[in-house]
Amino acid sequence: MPTRTPMEVSIAVAKAVQQADVDVIAAYPITPQTHIVEHLSELVANGELQANFMNVESEHSAISAMVGAAAAGASTFTATSSQGLALMHEILFIASSLRLPIVMVVANRALSGPISIWNDHSDIMAERDIGWIQVFCENGQEAYDSILHAFRVVRDPHVLLPMVVNIDGFNLTHVIEPIYLFDQEELGDYLPEHRQQLKLDIDHPVTMGPVGIPEVYTEAKKQVEDALVNSKQTILAAWQEFARRFGRTYAPIEAYRVEGAKILLMTMGVISRTAMGAVDRLRERGKAVGLIRCRLWRPFPLPEFREAVRQASIIAVVDRHISLGAHSGPVCQEVRSALYTLPNRPQVFGFVLGLGGRDVTVHDFFEIVELSEQYASQGPPASEYTHIGLREV
Amino acid sequence: METALDTFEKFDPQHLPEFEPLAPGHRACQGCGEVLALRLAAKALGREMIVVSATGCMEIISSAYPQTAWRVPWLHVAFENAAAVASGVEAALRIMKGKGKITRDDIPILAVAGDGGTADIGLQALSGAWERGHNFIYLCLDNEAYMNTGIQRSSLTPYGAATTTSPPGKLSIGEGHFKKDLPAIAVAHKIPYVATVNPAYYLDLMNKVKKAALIQGPAYLHAFSPCPTGWRHEGRYAVKIARLAVQTRVFPLYEVINGKYFLNRKVTKPKPVREYLKLQRRFAHLTEEDIEIIQENVNNEYDRLLRLSEEVDLETKLTTSFQQYLDQLKQQMDEAYKKLREEFQHT
Ligand SMILES: Cc1ncc(C[n+]2csc(CCOP(=O)(O)OP(=O)(O)O)c2C)c(N)n1
Ligand code: SF4
């Protein structure tokens, strides 16, 4: 019988990586990702994880080394945040285009400037289109489970794509939660052995990363897109198998108290917990409010999303990133375009909150619901989205 | 390390390997010194190796999909990260061997980049890889410009050279700085093997590549690579110019093994630098005074190198004579013992 152990989420994440028996880890320190790789390097130092831990000189080299190691056929893991992710930017597209099964944790943190070490989603939202599978976690258990899912998914020969597991910085990485950890036996063969067909093999030489002349570039891109879209089947199968074996269920769009809800909040990551609290209180007050949480961000689960919002008349989308110069945050943009072609679409209002570590409270969600109702009855606001908790300066 | 070099078997000019890892039919310009150096380096390593390439001329000319000139595993990722990618490949092979996932022994890894990808944008990744001690050969193909983007200056562009971003003009003689000393930067990392190579001295080049593969740890090879397109010389002169670079002392051939300098080819009667410069239109605008400045710099650099390698000579002389003295002593003692033993037997 598994026991729940109180543990820092970063440590649990490191344990999951250990259980996946990775070969090469490369990392460069950046808060709030550090605890994960610190713990991994301890495991390697103590011989509890037989892996090559590369202390590289930058995130650019961390991801470059991961690409090299994965191309050589190794199971690879890295973690980063914020500026580190931004420094990797150039190589992230190459990793997916080379179809390499790298797993990376992004401990989400605001981007400079001004410099901020605290949590929001601006780092990963600037990396929406890198061609990696991307999920967002809400709690420690999910973070631990998601790492196991990730290794299962990327090791599937039908996928051949890298994957990001997003874990909110501090609010998740540094909190201590009771977590069910599998012992290796229990985990059994949920994680397949890492076997790669295409790699730098002297017996079967291949040319990887060649020049894409205009005659082939579009097709090459299309293939990455197809792979990403098709990866959803494997992702869902991995979650179903996990639920069947271990009883914990995950879905691309998770719904909370949506029965008969006319207003749906939509969130991602750790603030969903706060939003649930708000939904509970609002329901007590007799308001038909529900919550949907986007877990699978890439590939975007379009049918599941449309199904989840079918009966709502208002969707209040919460972004934790400003898409500078656009008319709303990235999630809201995604939602609006996902609904645009539907004949009877709900009204969508965008909200931005919790930037750079600003506290997100249940009251913020009360305000969001109130404003949404007001916009619905009195007409939408002048600007296409609303800042919550913005102090006038 | 010394033992690997002791048993080192040199290439025999009569029996060079036939296998060409870099196949003919690539798209390099006629007379390209880079592709010549690269081909020789690849030939020296043979069929069982992995090549990691930076973005640049050699990547573009050898890999335009759906064709490839590579008969060995080859990986290109980006411009500045060949060293980091090669580190990853090496780290992966090492641990997978440790775990029994692969069985092959040390597969040589050759990382290749131009002077820009090495001395400028790629220097950080390279320094990191050296400091971590990864076992791969890094080959800098120095054509003294960013050729793939069309003849812009790099920190390895020589003083006075005309490039599109260091054009000579009323206020400029062209490139205004002397070359960054990259081999010295490599030596400062205390890596076991650093050498300069030149495709005009092909056996020297191939042997150094072979040595680099034998040595555990990072090896750095800096290849002089004439570029007819950028240097504005006729394609047929590439090897001639490469040879002149050595004969004029512009590009001395040396090795630095565990920090010790060995000048491989002492140029006792150097040709004037002018002879080297005059074959290339990138230097056509230079005045006699400019050439004098370059000549002086070449003299100084060569003297510096000579001093560095003579220190080694002196040391070897000292150690050799001390060794001879010890050998003599041992012989004398052996004889004395022999005598004693004989006397002892008689009594
Ligand atoms: C980050 C980045 N900056 C710039 C470029 C454009 N670029 C591609 S190759 C190249 C120059 C390559 O010069 P060098 O390394 O000297 O090699 P060569 O082409 O001369 O062999 C440049 C600037 C790039 N690919 N990536
Ligand atoms: S531009 Fe120069 S280095 Fe590039 S392929 Fe042509 S000759 Fe070679």
Instruction: State the nearest Cα–Cα gap between B193 and chain A, in angstroms.
Output: 21
Q: Are strands A133-136 and A296-298 parallel, antiparallel or unpaired?
A: antiparallel
Residues of A in contact with B70 (CB under 8 A): 205, 207
Q: Is the pLDDT of residue B234 over 50?
A: yes
DSSP secondary structure code for residue A341 in this structure: T
Alpha-carbon distance B99 to nearest alpha carbon in chain A (angstroms): 8
The reply to whether residue A202 touches residue B47, judged by beta carbons under 8 angstroms, is yes
Say if B15 is an interface residue toward chain A (CB within 8 Å).
Answer: no
Q: Which atom of ligand 2 is nearest to the CA of B60?
A: 5
User: How many whole angstroms separate alpha carbon B291 and alpha carbon B303?
Assistant: 18
Write the pLDDT tens digit of every residue in B13-68: 999 999 999 999 999 999 999 999 999 999 999 999 999 999 999 999 999 999 99
Q: Would you call A52 and B75 a contact, using CB atoms and an 8 Å cutoff?
A: no
- Measure in Å the smallest separation between the Cα of B220 and chain A Cα atoms: 19
**B74 touching A (Cβ < 8 Å):** yes
For residue A244, the SS3 value is: helix
End-to-end CA distance of chain A: 56
Of A56, A94, A220, the CB nearest to B77: A94
Counting from 1 in the atom list of ligand 1, the atom nearest the Cα of A90 is: 1
Q: Nearest-CA neighbor of B218 among B38, B52, B75, B90?
A: B90
Give the confidence band of A1 by pLDDT, cuts at 50, 70, 90: low
Q: Which atom, in ligand 2's list, is nearest to the CA of B114?
A: 3
CA closest to B127 among chain A residues: A57
Say if the Cβ atoms of A74 and B47 lie within 8 Å. Answer: no
Nearest CA in chain A to B124: A57
Q: Identify the closest residue of chain B to A76 by CA–CA distance.
A: B92
Of the candidates A185, A146, A144, A142, the residue with the CA atom closest to the CA atom of residue A164: A146
ipTM score here?
A: 0.96
pLDDT of B255 strictly over 60 = yes
Question: Are B48 and A65 a contacting pair at CB < 8 A?
Answer: no
pLDDT digits 0-9 by tens, B178-200: 999 999 999 999 999 999 999 99
Distances in whole angstroms, Cα of residue A100 to Cα of each of A53, A67, A86, B275 = 19, 7, 19, 51
From the DSSP assignment, how many helices (H) and strands (E) are in chain B? 12, 10
| pLDDT on residue B3 | 63
The C-alpha atoms of residue A232 and residue A195 are separated, in whole angstroms, by 21
Give the Cα separation of B292 and B298 in Å (integer): 10
Q: Rounded to whole angstroms, how far apart are CA atoms A261 and A308?
A: 11
**Pocket-testing residue among B34, B151, B239, ligand 2, by greatest number of atoms within 8 A of Cβ:** B34
Rounded distance from Cα B225 to ligand 2 centre (Å):
9
Q: pLDDT band at residue B1, thresholds of 50, 70 and 90?
A: very low
Separation of alpha carbons B41 and B222, rounded Å: 11
Taking only the tens place, the pLDDT of each residue in B125-169 is: 999 999 999 999 999 999 999 999 999 999 999 999 999 999 999
Shortest Cα–Cα distance, B300 to chain A (Å): 35
Q: Tell which atom from ligand 1 comes closest to the C-alpha of B56.
A: 19
Query: What is the residue whose two structure tokens read 């680099």?
Result: B212
Q: Is the pLDDT of residue A348 over 80?
A: yes
**Which ligand 2 atom is the nearest neighbour of the CA of B28?**
5
Residue of chain B nearest A28, judged by CA positions = B128
Q: Is the pLDDT of residue B2 over 60?
A: no
Confirm if A288 and A262 have CB atoms less than 8 A apart: yes
Residue A253: which of A294, A219, A221, A198 has the closest Cα? A294
8 Å CB contact of A61 and B101: no
Q: Helix (H) and strand (E) counts for chain A? A: 12, 16
DSSP string, A165-200: EEEETTTTTT-EEEEE---HHHHTTSSPP---SSS-
Could you tell me if B96 lies within 8 Å of chain A, comparing CB atoms? yes
pLDDT bin (cut points 50, 70, 90) of residue B106 is: confident
Q: Which residues pair with A175 in a beta bridge?
A: none
Of A23, A57, A210, the CB nearest to B127: A57
Q: Give yes or no for B87 touching A (CB within 8 A).
A: yes
Q: Give B342's pLDDT tier (boundaries 50, 70, 90).
A: confident
Residue tagged 């999303």 (tokens):
A305
Share of chain A above pLDDT 90, in %: 98
Task: Check if the beta carbon of residue A311 is closer than 8 Å to that of residue A322.
Answer: no
In whole angstroms, give the CA distance from residue B69 to residue A265.
Answer: 55
From chain B residues 97-156, the ones with a CB under 8 A of any chain A CB are: 98-99, 101-102, 104, 107, 124-125, 127-129, 131-132
A70 in Cβ contact with A119 (< 8 Å): no
Residues near B105 by beta carbon (within 8 Å), at least 6 away in sequence: B97
Confirm or reject: Cβ of B144 under 6 Å from ligand 1: no
Shortest Cα distance from B234 to chain A (angstroms)?
28
B22 phi and psi, to 5 degrees? -100, 110
Of the candidates B72, B96, B125, the beta carbon closest to that of A73 is on B96
| Of A351, A354, A273, A340, the residue nearest A305 (C-alpha) | A340
Q: Which residues pair with A204 in a beta bridge?
A: A201
- Structure confidence by residue, pLDDT tens digits, B284-326: 999 999 999 999 999 999 999 999 998 777 777 777 778 788 8
- Residues of chain A contacting residue B91, judged by C-beta atoms under 8 Å apart: 24, 26, 52, 54, 65, 68-69, 74
| B-interface mutation test, from A49, A57, A66, A218, most B Cβ less than 10 A away | A57
The beta-carbon contacts of A123-129 under 8 Å, at least 24 apart in sequence, are A123/A81, A123/A82, A123/A83, A123/A85, A123/A86, A124/A85, A124/A164, A124/A166, A125/A319, A125/A321, A125/A323, A125/A329, A125/A330, A126/A85, A126/A86, A126/A89, A126/A321, A127/A85, A127/A89, A127/A92, A127/A164, A128/A297, A128/A298, A128/A330
Q: Are B310 and B254 in contact (CB under 8 A)?
A: no
- Using left for φ > 0, alpha for ψ between -120 and 50, and beta otherwise, residue A203 falls in alpha
pLDDT tens per residue across span A208-224 = 999 999 999 999 999 99
Nearest ligand, CA of residue B118?
A: 1
pLDDT over threshold 70, residue A2? no
Give the residue carrying structure tokens 């003083």. Answer: B159
| pLDDT recorded at residue B293 | 98
Mean model confidence pLDDT for chain B:
95
Strands B50-53 and B74-76: parallel
CB A326 within 8 A of CB A388: no
Q: Which residue has a Cα nearest atom 3 of ligand 2?
A: B227
Distance CA A334, CA A299 (A): 12
Instruction: Test A61 with B84 for CB contact under 8 angstroms.
Output: yes
Which ligand is the nearest neighbour of the Cα of B227?
Answer: 2
**Cβ <8 Å between A210 and B132:** no
Q: Check if B146 has its Cβ closer than 6 Å to any atom of ligand 1.
A: yes
Residue range B198-224: mean pLDDT, rounded = 97
Residue of A nearest to B104 (CA): A202
Are the Cβ atoms of B93 and A72 closer than 8 angstroms? yes
Residues paired with A386 in a beta bridge: A351
Question: Among B52, B74, B124, whose Cβ lies nearest the Cβ of A58?
Answer: B124
How far does A321 lie from chain B, in Å, by closest CA? 29
* Biggest CA-to-CA distance, chain B: 98
User: Of all atoms in ligand 1, which is nearest to the CA of residue B118?
Assistant: 15
- Angle of helix A9-19 relative to helix A140-154, nearest 10 degrees, comes to 20
Mean predicted confidence (pLDDT) in B70-93 = 98
pLDDT tens track for A50-61: 999 999 999 999
Structural element, H or E, at residue B139 = strand B137-142
Model pLDDT, residue A222: 98
> For all residues of chain A together, what is the average pLDDT?
97
Report how far ligand 2's centroid is from the alpha carbon of B248 (Å): 23
How many Å apart are CA B32 and CA B229, to the nearest integer? 8
